[in-house]
Structure 1
Amino acid sequence: MPDLGTYAVPVLSSYAGTLALLIGLVVGSIWKARRVARKLDAVEERRGKG
C-alpha cells in the first residue's frame, strides 16, 4: 500500500464510503428485484385462476 501521509484518513474514508454505497446499491437492487418478482408471481397466479 502506498504511503498516503497526511491524506491517509480522507483517502481511506472515501474508499470506505464508496464501498458502503456500492454495497447499499447491490443490496437494494436485490431486495427490489425479489419484491417485484413476488408481485409478478401473485399477478400471474391471479390471472391463471381467472
Structure 2
Amino acid sequence: MEEIISFISQVGFPIVVTLYLLYRIESKLAAVVQSIQELPNRMNARS
C-alpha cells in the first residue's frame, strides 16, 4: 500500500487514475475489437 501512495505522490493523482482506468478498459477494448473483426463473418452467415 505504501508503494501506491509513494507512486501517487511522485506522479500525481490524475496520472495514477488514468493508468488505472486504462488498465481496466484494456480487456474490454480487446473484446470490442474482436467483435468488430468478426462482424462481417456473422453478417455473411445470416445472408
Instruction: Pick the TM interval, shorter chain.
Output: 0.3 to 0.5
Using CA pairs under 8 Å that are at least 6 residues apart, name the structure with larger relative contact order, 1 or 2.
Answer: 2
